[in-house]
Amino acid sequence: MFGRLGRTVVRHPWWTIVAWLVAAVAIIAFSPKISEITKSDQGSFLPGTYESVQAIDVAKKAYPERDENTQIALVVVKRSDGGPLTQADSAKVGQVAQGLKSRHIKTVTNVQTGPQVVAPNKSVQLINVTMQGKSQDDQALTDAVRDIRKELPGQIQGAGLTTLVGGDVAGFADNEDSFNRALEIVGISTFILIIGLILLIFRAPLAALLPILVIGIVLQVSTALVALAGKTFGFNVDQDLQTIVLIVLFGIGSDYILFLLFRYRERLRAGDDKKTAMIVAVERVGEVIASAAGAVIVAFLVLLLASFGGFGSLGPALAISVGVMLVTALTLIPAIISLLGTAVFWPSKAWKRKPKATIPARLGRMVGRRPGIVVLVTGGLMLILAAGTLSFKADYDFNAGFPQNTESAKATKQMQQGFPAGLLTPTEVYLQTTGGRPLSKDQVATFTAAVKNAPGVGSAQPVQDPSQDPSVARVDLALKSNPVSNEAISLVRGPLRDAVHQAAPPGTKALVGGNTAIFADINSANNRDLSVILPVAAVLIALILGLLLRSLVAPLYLVAAVLLGFAATIGSAVYVYMDALDKPGITFQLPIIMYLFVLAIGTDYNILMIARLREEAKEGHEPREAAALAVEHGAPTVAAAGLILAGTFAVLMLAPVLFLKELGFGVAIGIMLSAFVMSAFLVPALTALIGHKAWWPGHGDRPTARGGTGELAPGRPEPARRG
């Protein structure tokens, strides 16, 4: 099949290119924008069975003015000399609040302060600024925070007071530059790494520019198709999707292009003309690319089983993107290269010369001669790293990972001198009658008094805004501990929820909501999702490998190797960040990101290596010799692809944000382990040890006298067949 596809594309390159471009223009022109299906609210991705989501539904009906477009900034006021606030100071703070309100700053809908927001120890007083905006990254909100900061110095001049603006919106405004700088670093480094490494490998500018140009177009087509699918089938995607799709496409796109270029150069060196070389390259590598893409697509689609919609929506979006890249790799790229011919390697002449004694050849001989030692060393290393997963803890505190010298970070520290740590992000409790009868003031007062003494609660305050539903009241709990710490999340998921439920008066029920409750439910959803996704993906990937290799044995140890690599990656992050750097946990998103990039994309390298092993066996080589040759010819491709993807992520470690540092380290080390340990050593060494039984019950390693084009391999006698 791939031979016929290769001949069609190579013989009609212009028709292939024109057809592809026409389809791309039509898709981009007639599809909706990705922003039309994008959501930023994490709680919106949880199913309705979780309590925090049920609390959101109650809140929307009872407090419609507190909708998802309401954002809060806090002005923290204290005396310049550090002393306690006086009545005169509080009166001045009230004047400042009125002054801000009178400025009619865009997006600001209300400014409030009063005795209720004076700290019990009189160290600070708060001014609540309510703003209207879709999300914290709304540019209008960022501008409003900056306008407030400009106004405040004039308002407090000569009063002996200092002000700092904090809260989530202010935090985003302060850290926006950090994020933008990090994204710029990633974008620039991606281009430099891809162009630089391919230039180093092939010493050819056209070969280096090919991935950048082609994948850039594929990104536009993929995004348009994802938006179209989202509109058609009614699913939303997280705001981080485009960044993830970008990295996935450059990762697998570079892999597939390198797979073709390395095999194309190999066939040219063997004496094929430029068209025959590309036909054979598509025939030999096409099955590998299709199988690798199939495994990645299946792994991504398994995310549909996730109960957390933020992960579930990634599945179809990434599967569509990989599908587009697969079609591109087997049609557009071979068509372009067949037109360029040997000019794709210009001005270098190295493609004409076969390397002599190379490092891959020496490594291959080592694997072939000492497979048992290689398995013990590499397998032992992976097991030691994987043991780190036993200590893994998820961390949800994004703010702690940002620079702590910003105004919003200083505001938080000052506020915590007088208020519980959870005041900025209160745990919202909704008390509701079970029969629809109105709640009495006594019921609310009794409930508030009870939950004030619940585990971990620093204060409890009924919300003064009238409820549109008389059967519902809201009580805000300020936790003593950081509301996004593991301690707080465990507290809300267990003891606090139990205490709140028990405190509900007869004839009522209580629902625990708010950000901490959402993260607690996300934690539960993540644990459930990984326990379902990993085994299902492993089984499906094993089936794809079984179809590719016509074997039951090889897929078993290949999937086991991939899962071991996944565990070793998580363990490595634990050793570095939790043990060496004494962090409280690893960002909660890391396991699923490792799933995307290490388990799914890392499978590409194993498939390439095992397919090359089978090919060398079919050429008549015994298992150990086949392993040596597979490493010699396959390791450079895997190394180049792994370096590009790992290097792109490693640059994230330069970002001033802990989440990005952990992400960069995790993916980089995971890809390096997949490419340089699993694929280059462990998989070929295991296959060499198992020998012919690796292909049982089929005969995947049975020698064949025919080359990839259907003709007798030149100068090669027909080898004897094994039973």
Ordered by start, the domain boundaries in the chain are 1-30+203-354, 69-174, 355-403+519-703, 426-513
Share of the chain above pLDDT 70, in %: 92
Percent of the chain with pLDDT over 90: 38
Class of residue 258 by CB neighbours under 10 A (exposed 0-12, middle 13-18, buried 19+):
buried
Is the whole-model pTM more than 0.75?
Answer: yes
Mean pLDDT lowest among 144-158, 286-300, 357-371, 699-713: 699-713
Domain spanning 355-403+519-703, CATH architecture: Up-down Bundle (1.20)
pLDDT of residue 660: 79
For residues 220-229, average pLDDT: 90
pLDDT of residue 136: 61
State which fold the 426-513 domain adopts.
Alpha-Beta Plaits (3.30.70)
Q: Helix or strand or coil: residue 485? A: coil
Q: How confident is the model at residue 713 (pLDDT cuts 50, 70, 90)?
A: very low
Say how far apart CA 62 and CA 611 lie, in whole Å: 61
- Contact call for residues 187 and 651 (beta carbons, < 8 A): no
- Contacts of 148-154 with C-beta under 8 Å, sequence gap 24+, read 148/73, 148/75, 148/100, 148/105, 148/108, 149/407, 151/99, 151/100, 151/103, 151/105, 152/75, 152/96, 152/100
Pick the CATH number of 69-174 from 3.40.1360.10, 3.30.1330.20, 3.30.70.260, 3.40.50.150: 3.30.70.260
The pLDDT tens digits of the residues spanning 458-511 come to 989 898 778 888 999 999 999 998 888 888 888 999 999 999 999 999 999 999
Average pLDDT, the chain: 85
Cα Rg of the chain, angstroms: 30
Q: What is the pLDDT of residue 686?
A: 95
Looking at CATH, the fold of the domain delimited by 1-30+203-354 is given as Multidrug efflux transporter AcrB transmembrane fold (1.20.1640)
Model confidence at 607: pLDDT above 80: yes
Bond preceding residue 355 cis, omega within 30 of 0: no
User: Tokens at residue 438, please?
Assistant: 């109105």
Are the C-beta atoms of residues 485 and 425 closer than 8 Å to each other? no
CB count in 10 Å sphere of residue 139: 10
Q: State the average pLDDT over residues 570-574.
A: 95
Closest CA to 214 of 345, 346, 332: 332
Residue 336 three-state SS? helix
Which pLDDT score is estimated for 722? 37
DSSP state of 343: G
- Each residue of 105-139: pLDDT tens digit? 998 999 999 998 899 899 999 999 988 876 666 78
486 vs 225: which has the higher pLDDT:
225
| CA separation for the pair 255, 671 (Å, rounded) | 12
Residue 717 one-letter amino acid? P
The closest alpha carbon to 59, from 480, 489, 512, 501, belongs to: 512
pLDDT at 707 over 50: no
In this prediction, residue 442 carries a pLDDT of: 92
Distance CA 271, CA 262 (A): 15
CATH topology identical between 1-30+203-354 and 69-174: no
Please state which of the ranges 58-62, 150-154, 612-616, 648-652 shows the lowest mean pLDDT.
648-652
Q: Are strands 472-479 and 457-462 parallel, antiparallel or unpaired?
A: antiparallel
d(CA 467, CA 78): 33
CA atoms within 13 A on the CB side of 459: 17
Q: What would the mean pLDDT of 29-53 be, rounded to a whole number?
A: 74
Angstrom distance (rounded) from CA 98 to CA 129? 11
Q: What is the pLDDT of residues 389-446, one digit of tens each?
A: 999 988 887 777 777 888 888 988 898 888 888 877 889 999 999 888 899 999 999 9
262-293 pLDDT, tens per residue? 889 988 988 889 899 999 999 988 988 998 89
| pLDDT score recorded for residue 67 | 55
Given this model, what pLDDT does residue 712 score?
A: 34
DSSP 712: B
pLDDT value at residue 242: 73
pLDDT band at 723 (very low <50, low <70, confident <90, very high): very low
